[in-house]
Amino acid sequence: MNFKLNDLPERSIKPRQKGLTMVMDKGLSLRQVEDFLDVAGVHTDIVKLGWSTSHVTPRLKEKLELYRSAGIPTYFGGTLFEAFTVRNQFEDYQRVLDEYGMEYAEVSDGSMDIEHDIKCDYIRKLSKQVTVISEVGSKDATKIFAPYKWIKLMQAEIEAGSWKVIAEAREGGNVGIYRGTGEVREGLVDEILTQIPSERIIWEAPQKEQQVWFIKLIGSNVNLGNIAPAEVIPLETIRLGLRGDTFDFFLGK
């Protein structure tokens, strides 16, 4: 923080359990990772290599090492887990995690259909190997769950060993907890929060209006995910009440 501004909302500090900013890297080059870390690393808690982009990214080990040396954990998007699992290659996936020195992994079922019990089994198995983040919600806009279902799924995944559960939105921010227009399904979020502690959830919120909405609901230290690298600095100002959208909101609090 460069200036002495009074009465800013308090921000948690790294390593954080709440107030996480999870960034989606969907194909940065090594030098672009360096650029990102240089300006936004201090505000970033964890980086996801979006869906299966890691499969087609050259010099992947060097890239992971760049994040590692900056102290920022990374994980492969859940679609990579699904691509292995749907092909009966789950053990191969476990070997990949070891080979690349991954400390986190995502378990999701956004693109494939599996029984929820089986998903929880994968969470249990992987949580012996790495820290598991699991994702609830389909990438298919036509599959809409009722709130009680979201809660049941999240609870079961936390019990199975997930460190955090992610509420699905995709890169676009137009499925899962959002309507096709990007608008938050507010009743759904409210109901989830009656049962699941907010620090256990990472809300995917790629659009600015979505970030603003969650910050107004839960506060500066809400966990937000799928943030584009170039939006980390802007997001930090929204968390601090230093952008028009939350300027009034935090004054006098």
**Which residues would be at the binding site for its own copies (CB under 8 A)?**
1-7, 26-32, 34-36, 38-40, 42-43, 50-60, 79-80, 82-84, 86-87, 89, 92, 96, 110-112, 139-140, 170, 172, 208, 230, 232-234, 236-237, 240, 242-244, 247-248, 251
d(CA 150, CA 177): 10
In the complex, least distance from residue 194 CB atom to its own copies, rounded to whole angstroms: 29
Query: Directed axis angle between helix 30-40 and helix 60-69, to 10°?
Result: 20
Min CB(191)–its own copies separation in Å = 26
Q: Say how far apart CA 78 and CA 122 lie, in whole Å.
A: 12
Strand partners, 164: 133
What 3-state class would DSSP assign to 116?
Answer: helix
Cis peptide bond upstream of 234, omega within 30: no
Nearer residue to its own copies within complex by CB, 148 or 247 = 247
* Of 59 and 149, CB closest to its own copies: 59
User: Dihedral (C-alpha) 19, 28, 37, 227: value to the nearest 10 degrees?
Assistant: -20
Q: Is 201 or 227 the residue whose CB approaches its own copies more closely? A: 227
Give min distance, CB of 195 to its own copies, in A.
27
Smallest separation, CB 83 to its own copies (Å): 6
Q: Toward its own copies, which CB reaches closer, 17 or 32?
A: 32
Strand, coil or helix: 28: coil
